[in-house]
Structure 1
């Protein structure tokens, strides 16, 4: 296994965001953390992180989990979220476990805690990165393999936590400096939904009623979908997303 210094050197020499993220996932897996979510926003306002559609997200979680956790905004009620917003550094998930056992979680926080438990995410650490602006926030969730207990991960962290934190901070700084080289990004759950409604012939007003959002929000989702598909018009985004099998359109009668 490469040393911490070797790994940091490899990170600093990376020129591809995709290769850097893959390399980081492999490295964190060697410590027992096999599911990661990295998130960054420029739109923080106090305890609010802004719209999830404006987040920069990297993750190796399954799509179905991310659709629920991010698409349904469960992330904001995650038991570790308040600590993340108020602190920098690393924190064991035993913070959430103890709060759950003591009945200190709100109903929404308990719902998210139980959702993560059901998905095998019961042990791990959160690393919250230092910020230079009150408008920005970055953090990474390191979920341990389901075979590990939090106690085992805490013992490992006592020995290796300082270098793991250092690796994640260096990776974070490098991520901020690299462009996203893939011109077509994967659509979010909401972006796919509004595009599919457009493909079904619905107007902006129709879609706003169907998803219980304002027309301006629908327009925003369509703009982000166009950006993700690297095209100029919604019609082009619809065609390209369908071709890439990111959305599925119903065929009309022949």
Structure 2
């Protein structure tokens, strides 16, 4: 246990951490994981999906439909994770579906999961101190395991599983991650970093040996890449997405 915790806390990349974590969770019977995190949650939205951090080892066919068609937002366990913190058996969702206490959209997600063999597991919703952030992980059990089997695993090892997933979550937040449609160039990152350090346009032009117009151009392109309207928003969003102050 200590060797594993030490390994993930010392991981230098998301690839290294995710490889170790998925391997360890599979040893406990959870061979398919979806980790998701957003800094842009509001009362009615999780923000732009292109700003999500999503890690998964599910089949591509499953992920393409689950995310591509927006099913993720209507999953019964998604509702639970947005309203709660801690770990929850998927029996919670199965009971709601059985009683008919779900929306048509939620029922469609449950039917899709049944079709794809995503039938037993646990969801962990991570603690947060901000109303704009939310992170959770959905842990799907190996095919052939029932929810009763999974609940027995959790009864024995749930405390360790919840702890290690929380540690992995905190480590993930500290590591660089390339958002495919939010990638800044080296120069765009540099000028935003100087803005964050309190420099004016003229200061930055002097520091990077370019004209103020060129600095303005890089800031405009950074705003466009991050899909925001102001430089202040760009600075905040780039910080949230770990796109600046990177080694």
Instruction: Judge same fold: TM > 0.5, yes or no.
Output: yes
**Residue 223 of structure 1: how far off its partner (Å):** 4.7
Deviations 1:205-250 (A, max 9, x none): xxxxxxxxxxxxxxxxx957xxxxxxxxxxxxxxxxxxxxxxxxxx
CA distance in 1, matches of 2:111, 2:61: 16
Deviations 1:93-112 (A, max 9, x none): 00011111111111110000
CA distance in 1, matches of 2:93, 2:62: 20
CA distance in 1, matches of 2:62, 2:149: 25
In structure 2, the residue matched to 1:109 is 106
Q: Does the Cα contact within 8 Å between 1:47 and 1:85 map onto a contact in 2?
A: no
**Residue 7 of structure 1: how far off its partner (Å):** 1.0
**Residue 116 of structure 1: how far off its partner (Å):** 0.5
In structure 2, the residue matched to 1:45 is 42
**Residue 47 of structure 1: how far off its partner (Å):** 4.3
In structure 1, the residue matched to 2:142 is 145
CA distance in 2, matches of 1:121, 1:115: 8
CA distance in 2, matches of 1:103, 1:146: 25
Which residue among 92, 95, 101 is the counterpart of 2:92? Answer: 95
Deviations 1:166-211 (A, max 9, x none): 000000000001113xx6x768xxxxxxxxxxxxxxxxxxxxxxxx
Does the alignment pair 1:54 with 2:58?
Answer: no
In structure 2, the residue matched to 1:8 is 5
SS of residue matched to 2:31? strand
Going from structure 1 to structure 2, the CA distance change for 1:47 and 1:95 (only over 3 Å counts) comes to: farther
In structure 1, the residue matched to 2:238 is none
CA distance in 1, matches of 2:41, 2:180: 24
CA distance in 2, matches of 1:37, 1:164: 15
User: TM-score when scaled to structure 1?
Assistant: 0.70
Going from structure 1 to structure 2, the CA distance change for 1:10 and 1:66 (only over 3 Å counts) comes to: same
Deviations 1:118-167 (A, max 9, x none): 00000000000001100000000000011100000001100100000000
CA distance in 1, matches of 2:133, 2:118: 26
CA distance in 2, matches of 1:74, 1:97: 17
SS of residue matched to 2:76? coil
Does the alignment pair 1:121 with 2:125?
Answer: no
SS of residue matched to 2:68? coil
Structure 1, gaps ≥5 residues long: 188-221, 225-254
Structure 2, gaps ≥5 residues long: 182-223, 227-247
In structure 2, the residue matched to 1:32 is 29
Matches within 5 A, 1:1-254: 4-180=1-177, 223=225
Going from structure 1 to structure 2, the CA distance change for 1:186 and 1:149 (only over 3 Å counts) comes to: farther
Give the aligned length.
185
CA distance in 2, matches of 1:115, 1:126: 17
